Structure 1
Amino acid sequence: MCPLPRPTMRRVFAPLTALSLASLLGAAAPAQVQAQGRITTPKEAFGANYGDDYFLANYQQISSYWRTLEQQSPRVKLRVMGKTTEGRDQLMAIITSPENHRNLERYRQIAERLAKAENLTDDEARALAKEGKAIVWIDGGLHATETLGAQQLGETVYQMASRTDAETMRFLDDVIILFVHANPDGNDLVANWYMRTSDPKERTLTGLPRLYQKYIGHDNNREFFTSTQKETENINRALYHEWFPQLLYNHHQSAPAGTVVYSPPFRDPYNYNLDPSMLLGIQALGTAMHSRLAIEGKPGATMRNGAPYDGWWNGGIRNTATFHNTIAVLTEMIGSPTPMRIPLIADRQIPRGDMALPVAPQLWHLRQSVDYSVSLNRAVLDHASRLRENLLFNIYRMGKNSIERGGRDTWTPNPRRDAEVAKRVKGADSLIWAAQHAPDYRDPRGYIIPSDQPDFLTAIKFINGLRETGITVQRATQAFTVNGKSYPTGSFVVQTAQAFRPHVIDMFEPQVHPDVFPYPGSPPTPPYDNAGWTWAYQMGIRFDRLLEPFSGPFTNVTDWNVAPPAGTVSTGAKGYWIDPRVNDAFTVVNRLLAAKVSVARATQAVTVGAGANATALPAGAFWIPASSAALNVLRTAATELGVNATGATSAPTATTPLRAARIGLWDTYGGSMPSGWARWILEQFNYSFSRVFAPEIDAGNLRTKYDALVFVDGAIPGVQAASRGGGSGGVLDEPANLPAEFKGQFGRMNVDKSLPALKAFIEQGGTVVAIGNSAVNLAAFLQLPVGNHLAKDGTPYPRTQFYVPGSVLRVKVDTTAAAAFGMPGQADVFFDASPVFTLGADAASRGVRPIAWFEGTTPLRSGWAWGQELLDKGVAGVEAKVGQGRVLLYGPQITQRAQPHGTFKFLFNGLYR
């Protein structure tokens, strides 16, 4: 069973005082600066060089070596950014000249002042830029199986600590370099797995037993605007609260076939919220990187349409940085500790704008990739050195532009709306332009998040996500009125007149992805990641958009993480009610059940109290009979979580008792990212559960151990795929020397054993929650009257007619269904090529009912939905009775990357007996 975690999703940071920051930065005293001595080489430290065939240095080795370099070179100072998820120290190596180290805090302050762009004139900013030093962030190892990242980072740190050539010395004088290991836990896991075999020729990365970030694996570069994981928190704190670099370089693998490396400029589209100088800055830096490789005779670099990377999405480390005016790039490069081959791809042998210098097919070694990476790192440092003042001034100017845009009427481009207006308005261009820039289409001057909304605690989590990415947030110190509407004390305000305005707009406003078709009638060109993600929508919070300037009794929030206001617990009551609309109510209930306290749920709406003190609660409200044990749990939860317990003088009659369910969460050998996200969410809300793997499912008798099983997208195979030996996750052959701890995890879900075992579990009274394609496949196996709504005459619509990549859509919700208790009548769901159901004519008679469905022809809220009218009347959530049990089927990704708090209740409600 998973241990109970910390009580809430609220992240805990200590306030950064002047003293603690000085300690963090290590303002060097003269005694700390020693002469450059002999530098230990990697070969001397490890017995191998970075990039040698069949060798990977793990984080323990790299971090130990960095500590050696810190002792040997006055250029190197190490800082612990924080702890990783598994408890390691996450290190940053700050490398610059000894003279710069002595003035490090001054240069950091200059970078902060210029990045925030507040209360500065252009002349003052130019003076600061002239005085300051460029700050460049270079990371590695984020995706640990992309083994080049950590190795090139280690090699570059060694070279910058030891080289004495004129170019290196210029870099050290002009630039403060932040070398960041982005995933220490994963580096140790992957390198140790690869090196576990003594025979080098038998070493392999195949069969890694678990995710290389404990919970989310590869998605550790998909959550930089939510900051759920410790490593992400550490990085965002360094980027947006401490260092404010002008350039950021994020290393990845792998390059398109027939090339060595992909480097910006990126392909279109670019996000419309970005400053124009950001687009041009990325192009300039990318061109400098390509040019260096060409000058050094390093072929095989491609750009723009040479790969699918675009400038649209927000969420990766380099993506989120651009919304903070940091010119940020990534590269994708080939490389493996086991030598590999570059294949012959005929159309990549002809020079063109996207690849000026093709590479010949050949055997390729990791050391070659390390050398390419070092060249690219040096290209970035050269760019920073030569354009130091420009870069420092430009980040200020982009911030100042954002402040100015937030203080006047602006219109963010919206191709869909502009096209609709152009069709509607007839006449001169000036009339069309005026209609496209109507007052109602203006960007907001700010947002108000009222403190009296039902789930204000989730709104606080949203605010904390903004704060962790450096957004200025204000809080009302007393009640106020704007545009005739009253708001209570404690409401939050986010003004758009701030330097990081692009990120503010991107979190609150819908993304309008353009319709990208290479030619008329062609399939659409997919976005690199999601097309829409508006986090305020996914969180399910209430906020108001203000189009005119406004002010009030506001004070800046200075907390790293805002604590929820203390909840209240009535005294002298026969029992207590908890509002089911509050996500953290489920945390309280789980604590109560764990303490053996009785809990029940109302089967219909209830009114607590009378007259002006009456409180209306929807169906699903939690009832807790009074007891000393209950009172202890409720009071602690009120203090820690802010959840209110409203007392009642009489016990209700229309309630259903709850019992803690024995929960199993499917996972697979090697790890499932969707399962990892669900695991993290369940831990945050204090659910007790076990992870369940295919062998345990195949063994049957599941009902003796579990009451509810959760299957995320990719867990349950289709009947046809399973019958061919396919299925979900894992690898086909058991790896050699598999540690005993993983043997019970190895295997795949299959049609012969797994699915019949699930059917028996349900028929015997169990509950299954299935998400995405797992929901489709389970419904088919159980022969439920559930079909594909996105098909005509049994044939799915082609992408030329219907295409919805990751986007936010709106559904109607049946709030009388127990599976939807606490949900609003309409909800925003995350939809990513998700299944949509149609119910058969006999569905109701067979105990199958819709929980949520699409209504109308325009459900798109944020992103891209080509052919969205085809969703009308399609069902997004289904509840079905099967024997003595039930299944809950959800097409949308209700736990997507832990972002859609607004749909967590679809999962939570299914996990009680």
Structure 2
Amino acid sequence: MAVRTILIWFLALSIGGVQAQQISTPKSHFGFNIGDDYQIANYKMMESYFLKVAAESNRVLIEKAGLSEEGRQQYLLVISSPENLAHVDKYRKISQSLGRAEGINEQQAKQLAKDGKPIVWIDGGMHSNETVGSHQMIETLYQLASSNDAEILNYLDKVVILMWHVNPDGQDLLADWYMQYPNPKDRNMSIPTLYQKYVGHDNNRDFFMYNMKEASNLAKVMYVDWLPQIVYNHHQTSPDGTVVAGPPYRDPFNHVYDPLLVTGIDGVGFAMINRLNEEDKPGYVRMDQSTFSTWWNGGLRTAPYFHNMIGILTETTGSPTPSTIPLVAERQIPRNGLPNPISPQKWHFKQSIDYSVSMNMAILDYASRNGDKLLYNFYKMGKNSIDRGNEDHWTPYPRYIDLLKTAYEKDLKAGKIVEDATSFYRSKRIPASYFDSLYRTPEHRDPRVYIISAGQADFGTAVKFVNALIKSGVYVYQATEQFSIQGKQYPKHSIIVKTNQAFRPQVIDMFEPQDHPHDTEYEGGPPVRPYDAAGWTLGLQMGVQYDRFYEEITGPFERKPHGVALVATTEQLPSSKGGYLINGKANDAFLVVNKLIAAGLKPQRDLDSKDFYIDAKQQKLLQQAIQNLGLQVQAVDKQPKRMAPVKALKIGLFDHYGGSMPSGWARWILEQYGFNYELFYPQNIDNGDLKKYDVVLFVGQGIPGRNEQSTKFRLPEANLVPQELNHLMGQVSLEKSIPQLKQYVENGGRIVTIGSSADLVYHFNLPVTDPLTKAGKDNKPARLSSSEYYIPTSILRASLDVSRAENAGLDENVNIVFNNSPVFQFENSSTLYSLGHFSNKTPLLSGWAHGQEYLDGTHIGLSAIIGKGKLIAFGPEVTNRAQSHATFKLLFNQLYN
């Protein structure tokens, strides 16, 4: 088979391929029925079952698909009839051709849609404590591999099914922990660390960045090799008083989607709820009665939307430990969002498995009945994207519609026009002239081309950005020589990304700002919280410099193949008498410096240019260290006049029992850039152990809130934790921990806080106030209400004081990720000074910022000299999910002397 040479075939084709086969039952393999109370399987057991069934069944083949972060093998299971599997490469290529929509016309596409088989993706196991998702895969696989029911045989004949376990590492960790207790009543899921290395629950926040190996493995299968039409991502749990939350989803949906995508999601959702109702399985909640929208990119279910794939998420209640469906009074009344309520009752794991398998079958039923439509519409959406990238196109962003409405109201007030009140529905009829003059203007068109110049200071980070696009199935061009467009010169190796491709929504989404609607419960009321981020534009987060073009361009461009990463070129270093300067604006400069320090060298930093200086004698080592990083390295005739030695500090990074995701992302970043660190825990603070570190980091949670006596980490009962893990337990307290932290700084230590841990500035009684408060009851400070001020995760523009060493290598203006983040107000002094601030009333670049004018003049970061040491606090998310490369240097600079 051409998919991969590593494909493992366990297929025994025969003329009577649908005949009964002896397939091992789950109970014979695992020792219990899937869904038995207090019983779950680890990944080692699941892996061996997958391999066994593939060997026994001529309906299943299995291929290796990459290793996890901890080295476990991930597999893709391909399930269909033996006849289909004999020609599965044909169906895969048809899906690729239709999904990319290149070089075929409508008639050819319709014929391919008839010749092909729809491809449906079913996964599980992403969030390891959501055990329904992983275990429904076992039962579904068994039924598909063994049953000769006419319905199952029909699905196998008409559909190709892909099954994928998302998180093998976490499955082993969680299941081994849960099953370690002899007494079933003691079994719990309070594992001591994150259930995916580095990222835990945020493994479902990595599907446009692909930092983790698991995400990269999935992306290659989904967006390069197979291109399924439906992606079903299993999760739990449902809202109280229900069993399942599923599609259709609530508003808003993202403006870059094709309408066929939105209605396609609806069609699958209706098939799912109908089947559950047919089978007397109530409790399915959807639309406005659920919390899930289709706005955000980055999740396993949502990222496919930007690739014209129907992404389905369900959140299903249930646990191997029996639970209950509680009584929620308002959820006993049927409504459109919950047409079939469920009564309160005791609930068992097997019931959740049954619901999940039914929903899998509902999707397969939908695909078997509508296969040609799914395939053709996949082509149609891709073709629409290509057409939109080849001509003038306007995406209806709210900002343009608001502009139109504002102009109309202004003209009404000025008496320039008279309101048309003839509408039966009392809608405001705005003259069509406003549409053309204010919305469909040339400056509001979508770009057709983006050019990323190879001449920018941090081209290595730009290549990382482009490789994230490539992993997602986007194709790019690279310049084979220097060229000029509209009078601007671009060097060889510059990268060109065109929007006339099937995955145009992904391209636009990664380059252009998101414009989240002002979504409130009612006019003037509190905002409705987005499902995740409101704004995430990756190019902005990473600080990549790019130019937009609104007409087709040509040049010496070479189209790169799908799925093949770019490698930043490295020039041969010339000989030098005075040494070399590595551009300090590049993030990878820190990686090189750390490599050289590890090799025993003594790099220095130019105090004027902020570049890193390497002695001329180290040319060979430097050449090796910069390989494939695209760094700008300058040979100089003489050493800079003012330099300081660069010494790696001993770094401590805070974590806690159960694991911190922000800390985990920081771990990954530190390792990628060559910084050594150790983890420490609350007990280490209280015991005075921090003195062995030069700098300690608190990223995200870790410091008690201003009105809290201690942190509130979820801790299991002490008697359920093995003794060797007791050192992970504990809370950070005002009474004991904060005095230890203050003493650490006074004695010469350095503390860096990011995000919510910035509350440490108030515990240290610094002359700092919170500008996002107002006088409340008894004149005590109270937070602004969400109706006044609300900024969910978005990207804002801030100004930095580049004269400060903490900001070395950054530009004066920086894009920051902001999530209702702390900001500060204070007077600058010799011992307390600002690192950056908001310099206007409209800092929003991408996302949603209600009441953003409150930020004007506030500080995003500060340095405070306390005794012999220093506290450095950043309010915004400068390490956000290892995506915000534009602000990584705000961390890195604090990790040297």
What is the TM-score when the length of structure 2 is the normalising length?
0.95
Asked whether the 8 Å contact 2:861–2:875 carries over to 1, the reply is: yes
Query: Does the alignment pair 1:430 with 2:432?
Result: yes
1:638 maps to 626
Task: Give the partner amino acid of 1:577.
Answer: L
1:357 maps to 340
Query: Does the alignment pair 1:110 with 2:94?
Result: yes
Task: Between 214-223 and 694-703, report the one with greater CA deviation.
Answer: 694-703
Residues 1:458 and 1:31: Cα distance change in structure 2 (over 3 Å): farther
Task: Give the partner amino acid of 1:868.
Answer: Q
Query: Does the alignment pair 1:828 with 2:825?
Result: no
Asked whether the 8 Å contact 2:458–2:631 carries over to 1, the reply is: no
Residues 1:642 and 1:337: Cα distance change in structure 2 (over 3 Å): same
Query: Does the alignment pair 1:731 with 2:715?
Result: yes
Asked whether the 8 Å contact 2:2–2:89 carries over to 1, the reply is: no
2:835 maps to 851
Q: How does 1:59-458 map to 2 (within 5 A)?
A: 59-205=43-189, 207-424=190-407, 426=411, 429-434=431-436, 435-458=438-461
How far does residue 730 in structure 1 lie from its aligned partner after superposition? Answer: 4.2
SS of match in other structure, 1:78: strand
2:696 maps to 709
Residues 1:784 and 1:247: Cα distance change in structure 2 (over 3 Å): same
C-alpha distance in structure 2 between counterparts of 1:699 and 1:492, whole Å = 53
Residues 1:19 and 1:245: Cα distance change in structure 2 (over 3 Å): closer
Task: Between 596-605 and 101-110, report the one with greater CA deviation.
Answer: 596-605
How far does residue 33 in structure 1 lie from its aligned partner after superposition? Answer: 10
Residues 1:27 and 1:436: Cα distance change in structure 2 (over 3 Å): farther
Asked whether the 8 Å contact 2:752–2:873 carries over to 1, the reply is: yes
Task: Give the one of 526, 529, 532 matched to 2:529.
Answer: 526
C-alpha distance in structure 2 between counterparts of 1:110 and 1:468, whole Å = 20
2:420 maps to none
Asked whether the 8 Å contact 1:449–1:543 carries over to 2, the reply is: yes
SS of match in other structure, 1:118: coil
Task: Between 312-321 and 25-34, report the one with greater CA deviation.
Answer: 25-34
| CA deviations over 1:668-705 (Å, ceiling 9, x no partner) | 111000000000000000101111111112111522x1
C-alpha distance in structure 1 between counterparts of 2:647 and 2:712, whole Å = 31
Task: Give the partner amino acid of 2:726.
Answer: K
SS of match in other structure, 1:136: strand
**Structure 1 unmatched runs, 5+:** 1-17, 606-619
Query: Does the alignment pair 1:809 with 2:807?
Result: no
How far does residue 462 in structure 1 lie from its aligned partner after superposition? Answer: 0.2
Task: Give the partner amino acid of 1:691.
Answer: L
How far does residue 46 in structure 1 lie from its aligned partner after superposition? Answer: 1.3
Query: Does the alignment pair 1:578 with 2:582?
Result: yes
- The number of equivalent residue pairs is 870
1:587 maps to 591
C-alpha distance in structure 2 between counterparts of 1:768 and 1:526, whole Å = 32
C-alpha distance in structure 2 between counterparts of 1:785 and 1:492, whole Å = 48
1:601 maps to 605
SS of match in other structure, 1:470: coil
2:778 maps to none
Task: Between 445-454 and 570-579, report the one with greater CA deviation.
Answer: 570-579
Residues 1:49 and 1:217: Cα distance change in structure 2 (over 3 Å): same
Query: Does the alignment pair 1:872 with 2:856?
Result: yes
| CA deviations over 1:71-97 (Å, ceiling 9, x no partner) | 211001111111011111112211100
SS of match in other structure, 1:545: strand
SS of match in other structure, 1:668: coil
How far does residue 792 in structure 1 lie from its aligned partner after superposition? Answer: 2.9
How far does residue 655 in structure 1 lie from its aligned partner after superposition? Answer: 1.4
How far does residue 32 in structure 1 lie from its aligned partner after superposition? Answer: 12
C-alpha distance in structure 2 between counterparts of 1:134 and 1:271, whole Å = 25
Alignment RMSD (CA, Å): 1.7
C-alpha distance in structure 1 between counterparts of 2:360 and 2:391, whole Å = 39
C-alpha distance in structure 2 between counterparts of 1:660 and 1:32, whole Å = 68
C-alpha distance in structure 1 between counterparts of 2:16 and 2:73, whole Å = 24
Residues 1:527 and 1:694: Cα distance change in structure 2 (over 3 Å): same
Asked whether the 8 Å contact 1:594–1:660 carries over to 2, the reply is: no
How far does residue 27 in structure 1 lie from its aligned partner after superposition? Answer: 11
Task: Give the partner amino acid of 2:402.
Answer: A
Query: Does the alignment pair 1:669 with 2:665?
Result: no
Task: Give the partner amino acid of 1:474.
Answer: Y
Residues 1:364 and 1:276: Cα distance change in structure 2 (over 3 Å): same
Asked whether the 8 Å contact 1:209–1:670 carries over to 2, the reply is: yes
C-alpha distance in structure 1 between counterparts of 2:283 and 2:405, whole Å = 44
Task: Give the partner amino acid of 2:257.
Answer: L
Residues 1:23 and 1:690: Cα distance change in structure 2 (over 3 Å): closer
| CA deviations over 1:224-279 (Å, ceiling 9, x no partner) | 00000011011110000111001110000000000000110000000000100000
**Structure 2 unmatched runs, 5+:** 412-416, 418-429, 776-780
Residues 1:433 and 1:869: Cα distance change in structure 2 (over 3 Å): same
C-alpha distance in structure 1 between counterparts of 2:693 and 2:712, whole Å = 21
Task: Give the one of 765, 770, 785 matched to 2:748.
Answer: 765
Larger RCO (CA under 8 A, 6+ residues apart): 1
SS of match in other structure, 1:837: coil
How far does residue 181 in structure 1 lie from its aligned partner after superposition? Answer: 0.7
Asked whether the 8 Å contact 1:410–1:443 carries over to 2, the reply is: yes
What is the TM-score when the length of structure 1 is the normalising length?
0.93
How far does residue 526 in structure 1 lie from its aligned partner after superposition? Answer: 0.9
2:427 maps to none
Residues 1:694 and 1:275: Cα distance change in structure 2 (over 3 Å): same
Asked whether the 8 Å contact 1:139–1:251 carries over to 2, the reply is: yes
| CA deviations over 1:845-888 (Å, ceiling 9, x no partner) | 4x111111101111000000011111110111111111111111
C-alpha distance in structure 1 between counterparts of 2:346 and 2:314, whole Å = 21
Asked whether the 8 Å contact 1:294–1:357 carries over to 2, the reply is: yes
SS of match in other structure, 1:66: helix
Asked whether the 8 Å contact 2:20–2:148 carries over to 1, the reply is: no
C-alpha distance in structure 2 between counterparts of 1:348 and 1:757, whole Å = 49
C-alpha distance in structure 2 between counterparts of 1:602 and 1:735, whole Å = 55
2:684 maps to 696
| CA deviations over 1:257-315 (Å, ceiling 9, x no partner) | 00000110000000000100000000110011000000110000010112210010000
Structure 1 ranges of 4+ moved more than 4 A: 25-36
SS of match in other structure, 1:62: helix
C-alpha distance in structure 2 between counterparts of 1:732 and 1:603, whole Å = 50
SS of match in other structure, 1:406: helix
| CA deviations over 1:139-186 (Å, ceiling 9, x no partner) | 001111111111111110011111111110000000010011111111
C-alpha distance in structure 1 between counterparts of 2:199 and 2:732, whole Å = 21
Task: Between 782-791 and 533-542, report the one with greater CA deviation.
Answer: 782-791
SS of match in other structure, 2:48: helix
Asked whether the 8 Å contact 2:596–2:625 carries over to 1, the reply is: no
| CA deviations over 1:374-416 (Å, ceiling 9, x no partner) | 0000000000000010101010000000000111111111112
Asked whether the 8 Å contact 2:37–2:349 carries over to 1, the reply is: yes
How far does residue 36 in structure 1 lie from its aligned partner after superposition? Answer: 4.5
C-alpha distance in structure 2 between counterparts of 1:22 and 1:665, whole Å = 42
Task: Give the one of 550, 553, 568 matched to 1:550.
Answer: 553
Residues 1:778 and 1:88: Cα distance change in structure 2 (over 3 Å): same
C-alpha distance in structure 2 between counterparts of 1:26 and 1:361, whole Å = 47
Asked whether the 8 Å contact 2:10–2:55 carries over to 1, the reply is: no
Asked whether the 8 Å contact 2:457–2:632 carries over to 1, the reply is: no
